[in-house]
Structures are given as structure tokens and as C-alpha cells.
């Protein structure tokens, strides 16, 4: 069983970093919404607030597009490379195939541990209520235990799917 960490903040941070590197200025909140498939600007503001609290960005509320990447802080942070190893469904299970497609480098602050981490791209929308959307990148930690209510990646007869775990009586 595998525990999932949300990747939306990481996706937003990477988009801001890429836009600043490509254009020389940060994206607007609306552009961030479109890039990470969120419809609500208030949701993006919430993620930006959490990135700010982690010391990765600084914002000036009096100016539009005033998102500053804190490079000094970013450069001092310990980074970790996590392999992207395939896809998992949020719906009907698909054949599980593990092969490293790419790596994503993220600040160590984004994860609780580095024990057997990997990333799966989510296909499907059955976990939207849990904030897991189609095409999200899910950071997965391999573990042998899960508590009631945990979101896990279950491997059933070589097919993988994301579900909320509940122990059955008996």
C-alpha cells in the first residue's frame, strides 16, 4: 500500500519557475489556474500562500504578477530527484508497468520522507472529491501499512488504482 502526497503546490511552483525562466516575469493567477487545471483563483491563492509560508516565493499584494522566487532560499534548500514511473487510474484499474520515464527534482520540504518515493501520473476523475484530478502528478511513498481513510495506490492482480482505504470487518 502506498501513501500519496498532494502535488498541486509542486506543479504551481514548477510552472512559476518555468515562466520566470522563459519570459523573465511570473504568470498571473489566472494563467496559473489554466496551466494547472484549476478553475478557482482562490484555490491558486491558497496554494500560493502555502508556498509563501514554506519560504519558496514572496508576493506583493499591491501589484499584479508580483510573485518572486526566493532563489537564495531555493538554492540553499536540499533537493531530491523523484522518478516518474508511469500512470495510475482514479477509476478502473490499469495494468501496472514500472519503468522510469523521467525525474522530477523537488525541494525536500515538499515530502515527509525520501523512503522509496516515486511519481505516478493520474488518469481519471474518481478521486476529485479528495483533490486528485486527471493528469495530476501523485508523489507516492511505498509503505506496507495504511490506516482507515488513507488514500492509497492499490495493486490488484498487476493492475493499479488510487482509492481511499477502509478495512472491512472480519
At residue 2 the predicted structure's pLDDT band, cuts being 50, 70 and 90, is: very low
6 is catalytic: no
Nearest to 136 by CA among 126, 144, 146, 149: 126
- What phi-psi label fits residue 82: left (phi over 0), alpha (psi between -120 and 50 degrees) or beta? beta
126 is catalytic: yes
pLDDT 10s digits, 135-165: 888 888 888 888 899 988 887 777 778 889 8
The three-state secondary structure class of 152 is strand
Options 6, 126, 142, 144, the catalytic residue: 126
Options 7, 8, 87, 163, the catalytic residue: 163
Q: Is the pLDDT of residue 1 over 50?
A: no
Q: Where are the domains of the chain?
A: 2-6+77-164, 8-75
CATH number 1.10.10.10 is the correct assignment for the domain at 8-75: yes
Q: What are the cell numbers at 154?
A: 492499490
At residue 126 the predicted structure's pLDDT band, cuts being 50, 70 and 90, is: confident
pTM exceeds 0.85, yes or no: no
CATH number 2.10.109.10 is the correct assignment for the domain at 2-6+77-164: yes
pLDDT 10s digits, 85-113: 877 777 665 555 567 888 888 877 778 77
Amino acid at each position: 500500500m502506498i501513501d500519496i502526497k498532494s502535488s498541486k503546490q509542486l506543479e504551481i511552483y514548477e510552472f512559476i519557475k518555468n515562466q520566470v525562466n522563459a519570459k523573465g516575469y511570473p504568470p498571473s493567477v489566472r494563467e496559473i489556474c489554466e496551466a494547472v487545471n484549476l478553475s478557482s483563483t482562490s484555490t491558486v491563492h491558497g496554494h500560493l500562500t502555502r508556498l509563501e509560508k514554506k519560504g519558496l516565493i514572496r508576493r506583493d499584494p499591491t501589484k499584479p504578477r508580483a510573485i518572486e522566487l526566493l532563489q537564495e532560499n531555493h538554492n540553499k534548500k536540499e533537493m531530491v530527484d523523484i522518478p516518474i514511473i508511469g500512470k495510475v487510474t482514479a477509476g478502473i484499474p490499469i495494468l501496472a508497468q514500472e519503468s522510469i520515464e523521467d525525474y522530477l527534482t523537488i525541494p525536500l520540504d515538499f515530502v515527509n520522507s525520501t523512503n522509496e518515493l516515486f511519481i505516478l501520473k493520474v488518469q481519471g476523475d474518481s478521486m476529485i472529491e479528495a483533490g486528485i484530478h486527471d493528469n495530476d502528478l501523485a508523489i507516492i511513498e511505498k509503505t506496507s501499512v495504511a490506516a482507515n481513510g488513507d488514500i492509497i495506490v492499490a495493486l490488484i492482480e498487476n493492475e493499479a488504482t488510487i482509492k481511499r482505504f477502509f478495512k472491512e470487518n472480519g
